[in-house]
Amino acid sequence: MIVVVTPNPAVDVTYRVAEQRIGETQRVLDVARHPGGKGLNVGRVLAATGVATHAVLPLGETPGRWISDALDRLGLDHTDVVVSGTTRTTVTVVDDIAHPTMFGEPGPVLTAVEWDAVATAVGGLLADADTTALVVSGSLPSGTAPVVVASWVATAHGHGVLSVVDCSGAALLAAASAGATVCKPNREELLEATGATDERAGALRLLELGAGVVVVSRGAHGIAAHTADHVLEVPAVPGVSGNPTGAGDAATAGLVGALVGAGTRQGPGAPFADDTLLRALRSAAAHGAAAVLRPVAGEVDPADVHRFLTHPDRTRTPA
């Protein structure tokens, strides 16, 4: 089982309108609502591809209850930590003319007691002998001390469970310092968090802090794994176009699914063999490409994943 923590889940609402205009009343032609937040996308992709997963998330007020009900409908196992604030909603307005406009609510501020309750829930699941990995993915609610992520990573390692962290900013640095098995930012997040001007320098900074390996997703430019002495790269699946939202989360799902293999535990600190990392990068690229083909983040067709995995000649390994 892979435990997936979403620190700041969201109700993702998409409004289709005829044409976006400022200062007018616009009739919404179509409404879609999905449970969102990067961790939930990771968990849904894992579940869609048959990997046992369990989501942990703080949820508050009506939007929180909606997410809980939606996860039940999707059949995703989840532990809700009920908080007093209101879970955020994001509203994305789309038409066929302009780029989408996204309105992001700030989300709740959690109390120390509420974060303790999240840690207790995470700790209980990590103690389960079936748990093979911890994934932490997505932003932290504003005002959250990054140490919460470090503490989950430390708890995982205490149970011999590997950790994969896709956060940004101070939370990413805290995860690296805690020795996260894999830090998996995208390129922009890596540069922003480390202050580096190129990807290799940024990855080395996280490795110096303590990260086991740094995997950087580059969108259409593929995905790379950085260790202290070399870089492994896999290009993106060519010729795939569609909706890139959530492709990075699907890549995380593909990565962690491959790393834990068929459920066997791998020590959190053990260095991965190159062929293991390459297999995980190929899996990440295939999952990411499959996600691009779906209109909604957090979804893949397992047949697409399989097709892209068996696609030949997509690997190169520069030094």
Residue 22 binds to its own copies (criterion: CB under 8 A)? yes
121 phi, psi to nearest 5 deg: -65, -45
| Residue 100 binds to its own copies (criterion: CB under 8 A) | yes
User: Should residue 188 be labelled a site residue for its own copies when binding is judged by CB under 8 A?
Assistant: no
Of 15, 115, 152, 308, the one binding its own copies by CB under 8 A: 15
Piece of 58-66, 217-225, 258-266, 296-304 that binds its own copies (CB under 8 A): 58-66
State which H helix or E strand residue 249 sits in: helix 247-260
Minimum CB–partner distance for residue 59 and its own copies (Å) = 13
264 scored as a contact of its own copies (CB under 8 A): no
Question: Residue 82 or 270: which CB sits closer to its own copies?
Answer: 82
> Which is closer to its own copies, CB of 28 or CB of 228?
28
Choice from 24, 96, 275, 313 touching its own copies (CB under 8 A) = 24
Q: Is 221 in the site for its own copies (CB under 8 A)?
A: no
Q: Angle, nearest 10°, between helix axes 302-310 and 274-292? A: 130
Six-digit token string for 196 = 């580096």
Of 97 and 319, CB closest to its own copies: 97
Three-state SS at 124: helix
Rg (CA), the chain: 19
What are the structure tokens assigned to 305, written together? 């994943």
Please say whether the dihedral angle defined by the alpha carbons of residues 300, 87, 105 and 110, taken in this order, is positive or negative: negative
According to CB under 8 A, which one of 93, 145, 154, 220 is a site residue for its own copies? 93
281, 314 in Cβ contact below 8 A?
no
